[in-house]
Amino acid sequence: MKSSDESPADSPRPRAVVAGHGDFPEGMVSAVEQISGRGAVFLPLSNRGLSGEDIETRLKSVAHQTGIRVFFTDLPAGSATLAIRRMMREDPELILVTGTNLTALLEFVFQSDADSVAAAQQSVEKGRASLGAFGPR
């Protein structure tokens, strides 16, 4: 629960977009918010009902309006991933992390002092390390 004297100015500014299928972006951002209270670090963008061209247009618009240069997507083959890779042709400074999981996003949230490249790389390492399978062999 937020304290009563917390002002809107305390909300973190968006630093990355979470893009992907269905409710994945909203769901992941909601989970980040529940765990850390910093869901506002991410802007969610679903590809639902959009053509590849529309996805790219929306992502470009968000990047242009916010200055965001980091994008997290769900699937390497997803249309959001392909759209961002197209954007990277025009702007090689953009950073794409694909195969995103909650651990990766939480790591990014708490890497607020790191530069974007370092924060994204650290997110990938943590996210990859968090995957596991348990049970009978």
77 binds other proteins (CB under 8 A): yes
21 binds other proteins (CB under 8 A): yes
**What strand order describes the sheet that includes 42-46?**
42-46, 16-20, 70-73, 95-97
- What is the DSSP secondary-structure string of 35-79? HHS-GGGEEEEE-TT--HHHHHHHHHHHHHHH---EEEES-TTSH
Listed residue (69, 67, 75) closest to 47, CA to CA = 75
Point out which span in 3-11, 61-69, 76-84, 118-126 binds other proteins (CB under 8 A): 76-84
The residue from 23, 54, 91, 125 that contacts other proteins (CB under 8 A) is 54
Measured from the CB atom, the residue of 41 and 96 that comes closer to other proteins is: 96
How near is the Cβ of 80 to other proteins at its closest, in Å? 9
Residues that bind other proteins (CB under 8 A): 21, 49-54, 74-79, 81-82, 85-86, 89
